[in-house]
Amino acid sequence: MKHLSHTPQNRPSTDSFEYWWDMDGTWVEQPNIRRGGESGVKRCHLDGDTYYVKKQVGHIFRSLRHPLGCPTIVREAHRLSVCREVGVATPEIVFCATRRHDGSQQALLVTRELSGYHCVQDWFAEEPDSSEKTRLLDAIYRRLAEALARLHNKRWHHGCLYDKHVFFKRAESDPEDVNVALIDLEKCRRRLTVARASERDIRQMRRHMPALNGRHWRTFVETYTQYIHIKSSREKTWLSLTP
Ligand SMILES: Nc1ncnc2c1ncn2[C@@H]1O[C@H](COP(=O)(O)OP(=O)(O)O)[C@@H](O)[C@H]1O
Ligand SMILES: [Mg+2]
């Protein structure tokens, strides 16, 4: 976690909760009311850089380890570090903390903008069809297949695999290749087996990615099956090439 430089004397420092909590910014989407609380993300600008500030009030999950509840942001911050460990790119965490305030549990997760990256959902909707777009989509799905295989082989499933949570940027060394990053790890959980992790994510991805046509699905499966550790004897119906 990196702290920012030069904070003027008259405002709280960048490693204080209230500094980020009170920062001006625009809501990316209207805050969600669920889990008995509220969660929203603001886009904020500071010293020429852009940050995404996820703010939650009483937005908790319960588990055997946390019978009284724990903010889902805490889980997300942990999963961002899991991604880094397995070699999946994610946004850099700038600040993460929780506090009790006015009788409720508040939580904050600040990440640095994935600079130079495009969100697959927006790019796919805006970019006119062309052979270049098709080639880039092939590259995106190859890299996404590798990233997901890394997560799934450790039995983690992303849990919210929509195209708005997949980002890409062109690789510097090869304009036909891309780097892929994943965001919104709040629902990322460990499953009992590699197959379970794989099936959950991939069925969800197929339902929620309009860009994933027959061609790109074949590209995805070709790469994914090279890396995923699922015994070949198991029937992998969710990876079938026929609809
Ligand atoms: N570090 C980041 N870089 C770029 N965009 C981001 C980043 N973090 C969040 N976003 C944008 O904000 C949106 C909401 O963030 P997300 O983590 O999905 O929160 P929520 O839990 O509210 O869905 C994302 O869909 C994405 O457009
Ligand atoms: Mg989201």
Same structural domain for residues 190 and 170?
A: yes
Cα of 110 to ligand 1 centre, how many Å?
A: 10
Element (H, E) at 81: helix 72-86
Same structural domain for residues 88 and 132?
A: no
CATH of the domain at 145: 1.10.510.10
- Could you give the count of Cα atoms lying within 13 Å of 133 in the half-sphere of its Cβ? 12
Same structural domain for residues 108 and 186?
A: no
**Between 160 and 234, whose confidence is greater?**
160
Residue 225 burial (CB count, 10 A): 14
Domain ranges, residue 176: 118-238
Cα of 170 to ligand 2 centre, how many Å?
A: 23
Lookup: tokens for 71: 């903010």
Contact between 163 and 124 (Cβ < 8 Å): yes
Q: Is residue 12, in this structure, part of any structural domain at all? A: no
Residues with CB under 6 A from ligand 1: 28, 39, 41, 52, 54, 91, 111, 113-114, 119, 164-165, 183-184, 186
Cα of 231 to ligand 1 centre, how many Å?
A: 35
> b or e along 152-184 (b: 16 or more beta carbons within 10 Å of the residue's beta carbon)?
bbebbbbbbbebebbbbebeeeeeebbbbbbbb
What local confidence, expressed as pLDDT, does residue 11 receive? Answer: 59
Same structural domain for residues 52 and 147?
A: no
Same structural domain for residues 134 and 96?
A: no
CATH of the domain at 107: 3.30.200
Q: Is residue 233, in this structure, part of any structural domain at all? A: yes
pLDDT in tens, 203-221: 999 999 999 999 999 999 9
pTM, 2 dp? 0.94
Q: Give 34's pLDDT tier (boundaries 50, 70, 90).
A: confident
Number of domains present in the structure of the chain: 2
Same structural domain for residues 156 and 64?
A: no
Domain boundary among 85, 112, 139: 112
Of 54, 29, 49, 53, nearest to 39 (Cα)? 54
Of 144, 113, 139, 114, nearest to 228 (Cα)? 144
In this predicted structure, which of 28-32, 33-37, 75-79, 198-202 has the lowest mean pLDDT? Answer: 33-37
